[in-house]
Amino acid sequence: MMKPIGPVARRTTLLAFLAAGIFVPAAPTMASATFDACAAEAASQYEVGYESTGRETWDINTATAIEACKKALEAEPDSSQLKGWLARAYFADGNYEDAVPLFEEAAEGDSVVAQAIFGDMLITGDGVDVDMERGAEFLKRGAEAGFALAQNSLGLSYDFAEGVEQDYNEAARWYRAAAEQGMPKAQSNLGLMYQDGLGVPQDYVAAAAWFQLAVDAGDVSAHVNLGKLIQDGLGQKSDPKRAAELYKVAADEGDMYGQNNLAFLYENGEGVKQDLKKAAELYELAAEQGMALAKHNLALLYEDGRGVTQDYNRAIKLYREAAEGGEMRAAVNLGLLYMDGTGTDVDYAEALKWTKMAADQGQPIGLNNMGHIYENGLGVPVDEAKAKDYYEQSAAQGYDLAIDNLARLNEATSGSGSTSGKTKTK
């Protein structure tokens, strides 16, 4: 997110599968000078025949490519391949008005570039109305033609049920097809499948091998993925210093996951000298990009005054944003601030709102704290049955405080003087 067969053994299997099951179109055998000029500027390196000359979308010189491809298309107006390349140049230039109709025409033809990019656009709604099923159909055509970009995107579609039914086996299959062609993003995605055991047997060694291939090719997200594997010691000895080095590469490229993870190491002095100020700066960078977890982590620093001047108002704001972004640990902590009146007035209605949000998502500390609310009647009528139910749900996840609270309720309610416990979460 893997043990039997490593990536080297599977590579032979895949190549045999590709030869038997996926049609790979031949490169053009005869092309005009204008066709070649367009290809030199706008072809993808994953197209057959253009492996050494093709380029990434962001590496296109758009002005030169548009001029060359317009001239080529004037000479060969029925060429789907030229339409796809010109559309790609417009797309790279941010000109969706001219790119979209050309992409659609080319995708309906045999342009694998158009099938991959236009398919993605339909799935994400980037410049067009969302039509995931149609987008997935274009991706299938490009993938079955052997185009790595379409294969990786089709893998994502199966991975996240976008336009097709979720199927991790198919996701892993298409990631592998693209990864075997040297596509770094696909290599990183396949590594995640091995890491989480989705569509393939869980194998941390294989995951690390695929991540390393992507890292060697400069893929930023792979640096984060490999770093986390190494930090957690999955399939190898934990090496926080190496993890920090990998995270720093990603962080320096502006990757919010790399920034957040490197900040965590600075906060805790793992693999680097502890530096709370540096941790706060990195969390801030990730939070500015909208990362909910980074907002939660930064809020913890502001609440406790570590690496920053203590500021409950900022902590509350960050917790709220993080909770609204899906980080349930932030919802737990925000609920506690309102419950205890820390940095704000006591507000049991707000405490219930945020704590329940976390509990409804199965967050164990949120479940425990809901038990505390009902056991003690904090803004609600005392209800020991509800309290017990919440404690049971939390205890079932192994949360120690909930286990203690549940044991106390089960022993008796004879007035021993003990009270329920509540905690915040990091």
List, in order, residues 6 or more apart from 76 with CB less than 8 Å away. Answer: 32, 34, 35, 82
List, in order, residues 6 or more apart from 167 with CB less than 8 Å away. Answer: 158, 199
| Residue ranges for the chain with pLDDT beneath 70 | 1-31, 412-426
pLDDT of residue 424: 61
Output the DSSP codes for 48-64. Answer: TT-TTT---GGG--HHH
pLDDT of residue 31: 65
pLDDT of residue 303: 98
pLDDT of residue 338: 98
CATH 1.25.40.10 boundaries in the chain: 239-326
Q: What token pair was written down for 75?
A: 């000479």
Q: What token pair was written down for 284?
A: 């801030």
CATH fold group of domain 239-326: 1.25.40
pLDDT of residue 164: 98
Inter-residue contact 177 to 148 (CB < 8 Å): yes
pLDDT of residue 8: 26
List, in order, residues 6 or more apart from 194 with CB less than 8 Å away. Answer: 2, 200, 201, 202, 203, 204, 206, 207, 210
CA dihedral of 352, 353, 357, 359, whole degrees rounded to 10 = 10
pLDDT digits (tens, 9 = 90+) for 314-337: 999 999 999 999 999 999 999 999
Inter-residue contact 224 to 261 (CB < 8 Å): yes
For residue 240, the tally of other CB atoms under 10 A from its CB is: 19
pLDDT of residue 411: 84
